């Protein structure tokens, strides 16, 4: 029997929220089901792919993408079409690329298309209705929409098929056993590319708060994983306590989740889901524009029975230090979070069998 093939296309900015779940699915399908897979991303997404061992990746230029992803008619979009023609996939898995969904549907009507969606992609009253109509129209050109996150959604838009499941987690998360050490990890996210200045400044502010805490907790090491090199360069110029370690690359999740006594991060769907599953004490910041901040608030509202606290970048240095000390006194909790990995894999496999 001819080996099945799946091509993944994942938006690589502003963070890694559109990359990690899709790559996890491809890895599972390749390792456990002998399906040939190939991922495509760009910008910060390529940094993540490099960290997973992928090589010889093509990069997009600023003329190849817009705020909602790859432009199908640009050079990078052209390369994607050439890859489809040479790789000849049975299925294309996309996340965060509505324009490419439409382009692939037009050019390759017989290829199965699956889109991975954030609940806010489908249902977000805080976004403009016209924008939601447009996104849902493009995503509904897929054969199946897999909506994964902390919130379950229903929609009146006419999708061929839509399933709403728990967040798809990275495969390595399931192998982690947290043994708290004297280490605090501040994970600033996947990147500060294509974001406004307020988002960048709030990212720096979170790091500054963590530096202040490190000054008060000399017996602990504060690890700060910068979201991108521009953030690293700014922080590296500061006078840092000896117990602060900066990183300018994507860290291995197994490393920091295994020994963290506290995680400090932003309130993205993927990170919050990982923390809810692992039960590690955490402080999470709501930051971003109206669209992203409201989405993050919805994520937090879905959390219950966890030891995850929330904070604003406007919190004072001393208030944040007290919150860290209080959170450090809590213990990891047994998880009641159910990931959506198995449901997503089963749906994809059923589509390939039916071809």
- Other beta carbons within 10 angstroms of residue 47's beta carbon come to 20
pLDDT(247) > 70: yes
pLDDT of residue 333: 78
Overall average pLDDT of the 151-164 stretch: 90
Higher pLDDT, 193 or 10: 10
pLDDT(135) > 80: yes
pLDDT of residue 1: 60
Q: How far apart are CA 259 and CA 141, in angstroms?
A: 44
Lowest mean per-residue pLDDT among 19-33, 159-173, 281-295: 281-295
Q: How far apart are CA 190 and CA 48, in angstroms?
A: 9
Residue ranges of the chain assigned to CATH 3.40.50.2000: 5-168+339-353, 173-328
Higher pLDDT, 335 or 174: 174
Phi then psi dihedrals of residue 56, to 5 deg:
55, 50
Q: Are 65 and 71 in contact (CB under 8 A)?
A: yes
Overall average pLDDT of the 192-204 stretch: 72
Q: Read off the tokens for 124.
A: 């977000």
Q: How far apart are CA 284 and CA 209, in angstroms?
A: 13
pLDDT of residue 267: 74
Displacement of CA 99 from its chain's centroid (Å): 20
Q: How far apart are CA 265 and CA 232, in angstroms?
A: 16
pLDDT(355) > 80: no
Grade residue 209 by pLDDT with cuts at 50, 70 and 90: very high
Overall average pLDDT of the 317-331 stretch: 92
pLDDT of residue 293: 64
pLDDT(354) > 60: no
How far, in Å, are 192, 194, 342 from residue 198 at the CA level?
Answer: 10, 12, 38
Average pLDDT, the chain: 90
Per-residue burial over 319-347, b if 16 or more Cβ lie within 10 Å, else e, is: ebbebbeebbebebeeeebebbbebbbeb
pLDDT of residue 200: 81
Q: Which CATH class is domain 173-328?
A: alpha beta
> Domain 5-168+339-353 adopts which CATH fold?
Rossmann fold (3.40.50)
pTM: 0.89
pLDDT of residue 322: 95
Overall average pLDDT of the 307-336 stretch: 88
Q: Are 117 and 147 in contact (CB under 8 A)?
A: yes
Q: What Rg value do the Cα atoms of the chain yield, rounded?
A: 20
Residue among 123, 138, 120, 162 at smallest CA distance from 18: 120
Q: Are 273 and 169 in contact (CB under 8 A)?
A: yes
pLDDT of residue 192: 55
Q: Helix (H, G, I), strand (E, B), or coil: what is residue 243? A: coil
Lowest mean per-residue pLDDT among 156-165, 249-258, 305-314: 305-314
pLDDT of residue 196: 63
Secondary element (H or E) of residue 3: none
Q: Helix (H, G, I), strand (E, B), or coil: what is residue 57? A: coil
Q: 248-300: per-residue pLDDT in tens? A: 887 888 989 999 999 999 878 888 899 989 999 999 987 755 556 667 777 77
pLDDT of residue 190: 54
Higher pLDDT, 163 or 51: 163
Overall average pLDDT of the 186-193 stretch: 70
Pairing mode, if any, of strands 260-266 and 282-285? parallel
Lowest mean per-residue pLDDT among 119-123, 152-156, 231-235, 269-273: 152-156
Q: Are 297 and 286 in contact (CB under 8 A)?
A: yes
pLDDT of residue 155: 82
């Amino acid at each position: 029997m001819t080996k099945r093939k799946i091509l993944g296309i994942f938006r690589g900015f502003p963070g890694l929220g559109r990359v990690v779940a899709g790559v996890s699915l491809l890895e599972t399908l390749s390792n456990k089901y002998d399906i040939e897979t190939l991922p495509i991303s760009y910008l910060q997404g390529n940094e993540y792919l490099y960290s997973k061992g992928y090589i010889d990746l093509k990069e997009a230029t600023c003329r190849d993408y817009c705020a909602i992803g790859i432009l199908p008619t640009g050079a990078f979009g052209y390369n994607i079409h050439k890859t489809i023609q040479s790789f000849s996939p049975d299925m294309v898995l996309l996340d965060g690329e509505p324009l490419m969904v439409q382009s692939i549907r037009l050019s390759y009507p017989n290829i199965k298309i699956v889109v991975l969606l954030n609940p806010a992609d489908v249902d977000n009253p805080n976004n403009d209705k016209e924008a939601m109509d447009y996104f849902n129209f493009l995503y509904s050109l897929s054969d199946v929409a897999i909506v994964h996150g902390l919130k379950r959604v229903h929609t009146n838009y006419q999708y061929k098929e839509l399933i709403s499941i728990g967040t798809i987690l990275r495969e390595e998360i399931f192998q982690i056993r947290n043994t708290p050490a004297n280490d605090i990890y501040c994970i600033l996210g996947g990147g500060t590319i294509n974001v406004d200045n307020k988002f960048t400044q709030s990212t720096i502010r979170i790091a500054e708060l963590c530096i202040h805490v490190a000054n008060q907790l000399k017996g602990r090491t504060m690890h700060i994983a910068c979201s991108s090199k521009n953030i690293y360069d700014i922080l590296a110029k500061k006078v840092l306590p000896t117990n602060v370690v900066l990183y300018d690359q994507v860290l291995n999740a197994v490393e920091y989740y295994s020994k963290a006594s506290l995680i400090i991060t932003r309130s993205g769907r993927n990170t919050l889901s990982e923390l809810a599953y692992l039960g590690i004490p955490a402080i999470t910041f709501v930051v971003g524009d109206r669209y992203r901040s409201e989405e993050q608030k919805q994520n937090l509202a879905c959390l219950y029975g966890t030891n995850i606290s929330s904070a604003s970048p406007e919190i004072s240095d001393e208030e944040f230090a007290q919150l860290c000390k209080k959170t450090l006194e809590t213990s990891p909790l047994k998880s009641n979070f159910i990931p959506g990995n198995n449901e997503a894999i089963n749906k994809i496999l059923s589509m390939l069998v039916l071809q």
